[in-house]
Structure 1
C-alpha cells in the first residue's frame, strides 16, 4: 500500500479551498428562499384587514373567508400579487384561510387557517 504524502495533500487542499468557498457562496446567495408562511396579521376596525407575510420566490396570495354562522357567502379572493386584503363585512365569527404560493411553480403552496371574531368599531 502506498504511503500518503500528507504535506502535499494539505497544500493541494489549501490551493483549492478558496475556489470551493467562492462556489459555495454563489450557490447559497443565488438560491431561492424556501416557501414558508411566516405570519398572518389581522387588523379589526370598520373593515377586516388581513396581511400575509410569506417567504418565497415571486409570490402570490389568496384568502378564503368563511362565515361560521352562515350569514354571508364564502369569499374566495383568487390569487393576486398584493399580500394585503380588506373585507367590508358584517360583525361575526369567521374562519380565514390564508394562502401563499410561488407563481412560477404549480404545486408549491402553503396555507394557514385562523378563526377570528370580528366586531366593527363604532366611531
Structure 2
C-alpha cells in the first residue's frame, strides 16, 4: 500500500476511538436491564412469605396463591411495587405463581409457578 500516511491514519483513528468509546459507554450504562425472574424465595413460619427477585426497569410484582385441596379461595394480589408478600393462611398444600413485569410495558411479564407445603411453625416448636 504505497502512499499511505500511516502516522496520520493512526492519529485519525485515535481521535475517533475516544468518541466511539464514549458513545458505547453511554449505550451500555443507560440501557434498561432485560426483564428476567431471577429467584422466588419462600419462607414458612407462622405466615407464608414470598419474595420475588427480578431484573428489569420499574418493576411491579404479583402473586397467585391457590389452595391445592380446595379449602379456600384463590388469592390474586394484583400488581404492586413491593416484591414482598406475606399470607396468613391455614396449613396445606399450595401453588404459588409469582409474576414480575415492567410498569411501562403492560405486555412484558415473566412468571414462575412453585408448589409449596405450608405448615405454621410456632415459636415454641
Task: Give the TM-score of the pair, scaled to structure 1.
Answer: 0.93
CA drift at 1:14? 1.6
Residue 66 of structure 2 corresponds to 66
Q: Structure 1 residue 5 and structure 2 residue 7: aligned?
A: no
**Structure 2 CA distance for partners of 1:108 and 1:4, relative to 1, 3 Å:** farther
Q: Distance in 1 between matches of 2:16 and 2:9?
A: 11
The C-alpha deviation readout for 1:4-59, integer Å capped at 9, x for no partner, is 72614333212100010011001110111111111111110010000101111111
Residue 25 of structure 1 corresponds to 25
**Structure 2 CA distance for partners of 1:36 and 1:6, relative to 1, 3 Å:** farther
Give ranges in structure 2 of 5+ residues lacking alignment.
Answer: none
CA drift at 1:85? 0.4
Q: Distance in 1 between matches of 2:3 and 2:52?
A: 58
**Structure 2 CA distance for partners of 1:6 and 1:78, relative to 1, 3 Å:** farther
Tell which deviates more after alignment, 8-17 or 39-48: 8-17
CA drift at 1:74? 0.8
SS of alignment partner, residue 25 of structure 1: helix
- Between Structure 1 and Structure 2, how many residues are aligned? 122
SS of alignment partner, residue 20 of structure 1: helix
Task: Give the TM-score of the pair, scaled to structure 2.
Answer: 0.91
Residue 101 of structure 2 corresponds to 101
